[in-house]
């Protein structure tokens, strides 16, 4: 399926097929399920969510609808932010151009209750020791990180990230590298986060034919309960709390 390529020529995601839309919605719901939001959401919430690397805005849009909180989506690509701003509108949603990966602690203008992302931290693989403490600084006390990241133990992803010709074909960034649950758990703990959890999840591929989606979701939900198989899932779903 077609990839979404940024101004630098690197792959930053997938075009919105029916399966990709279903996948993003499931990921948005999983993120919100980890948030400590009041059951009654008819009133305005004093909760602010920052999505790092929001790309063309689909996930931020779903989060704004589901959570009912303020959502700020940021991305380094002007092209992506222009698209997101033109196509996704909610009164509690905004999009900004920002390259937080090269920023200091002072780059964030306020503290956030949640910082979330979908396939973002692995772009900073070689800078996590510096960047994760910065994320902790941007969070309010008790605030949480909630991220989906590629799982290096998935056989397909292992090949894509570890075999040079396949990396080139996939248009990966030079510093981009998938990791294992144990690796990111150790990095988050060293950065001072507590209540760290990193579990492997999701077997729904973004190029799944529409007629197969329902069946594959059911099969995937079952496989996530099987420890031997679960380790090969596509993604790591991680959460961590700022001390």
3-class secondary structure, 131:
helix
Position 123 scores a pLDDT of 94
HSE-CB of 58 using CA atoms within 13 angstroms: 16
Residue 10: pLDDT band (50, 70, 90) is low
Whole-number pLDDT of residue 23: 92
Distances (CA, A) of 51 to 1, 4, 92, 183, 217: 25, 18, 13, 22, 25
226 by Cβ neighbours in 10 Å (0-12 / 13-18 / 19+) ranks as exposed
Query: Mind listing the pLDDT tens digit for each residue in 169-199?
Result: 989 999 999 999 999 999 999 999 999 999 9
Closest CA to 146 of 52, 8, 239: 239
Decide if pLDDT at 3 tops 80. no
2 DSSP assignment: P
Collapsing DSSP states into helix, strand and coil, what is residue 18? Answer: helix
Give the model's confidence band at 44: pLDDT under 50 very low, under 70 low, under 90 confident, else very high. low
Position 54 scores a pLDDT of: 95
Inter-residue contact 51 to 117 (CB < 8 Å): yes
Please write the tens of the pLDDT for every residue from 83-131.
999 999 999 999 999 887 665 555 556 899 999 999 999 999 999 999 9
Residue located via tokens 């909610």: 90
Is residue 11 very low, low, confident or very high in pLDDT (cuts 50, 70, 90)? low
Share of the chain above pLDDT 70, in %: 90
Q: pLDDT, tens digit, for every residue of 137-167? A: 999 999 999 999 999 999 999 999 999 999 9
What is the domain range of residue 81?
3-241
Q: What is residue 179's DSSP assignment?
A: B
Strands, DSSP E only, in 78-156? 93-97, 112-118, 139-150
| pLDDT exceeds 80 at position 31 | yes
Q: What is the mean pLDDT of the chain?
A: 90
CATH of the domain at 91: 3.40.50.150
Question: Confidence class of residue 206 from pLDDT cuts 50, 70 and 90?
Answer: confident
Task: Give how many domains the chain has, as a whole number.
Answer: 1
Provide the residue count of the chain. Answer: 243
Element (H, E) at 87: helix 78-87
Q: How far is CA 234 from CA 31, 82, 152, in A?
A: 16, 29, 8
At 192 the pLDDT is 96
Q: Is-above-0.85 flag for pTM?
A: yes
- Which pLDDT value is given to residue 41? 55
| Residue-level pLDDT at 40 | 59
**% residues pLDDT > 90 (the chain):** 75
């Amino acid at each position: 399926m077609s990839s979404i390529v940024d101004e630098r020529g690197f792959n930053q995601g997938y075009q919105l097929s029916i399966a990709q839309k279903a996948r993003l919605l499931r990921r948005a719901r999983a993120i919100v399920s980890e948030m400590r939001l009041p059951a009654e959401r008819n009133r305005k919430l004093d909760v602010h969510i920052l999505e790092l690397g929001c790309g063309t805005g689909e996930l931020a849009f779903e989060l704004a609808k589901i959570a009912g909180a303020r959502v700020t989506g940021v991305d380094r690509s002007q092209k992506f932010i222009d698209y997101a701003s033109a196509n996704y509108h909610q009164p509690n949603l905004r999009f900004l151009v920002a390259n937080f990966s090269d920023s200091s602690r002072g780059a964030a203008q306020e503290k956030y209750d949640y910082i979330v992302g979908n396939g973002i931290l692995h772009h900073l693989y070689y800078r996590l020791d510096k960047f994760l403490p910065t994320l902790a600084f941007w969070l309010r006390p008790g605030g949480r990180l909630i991220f989906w990241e590629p799982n290096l133990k998935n056989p397909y992803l292992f090949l894509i990230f570890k075999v040079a010709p396949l990396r080139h074909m996939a248009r990966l960034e030079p510093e981009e590298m998938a990791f294992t649950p144990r690796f990111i758990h150790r990095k988050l703990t060293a950065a001072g986060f507590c209540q760290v959890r990193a579990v492997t999840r999701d077997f729904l591929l973004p190029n799944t034919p529409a007629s197969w989606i329902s069946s594959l979701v059911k099969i995937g939900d079952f496989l996530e309960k099987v420890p031997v198989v679960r380790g090969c899932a596509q993604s790591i779903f991680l959460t961590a709390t700022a001390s």
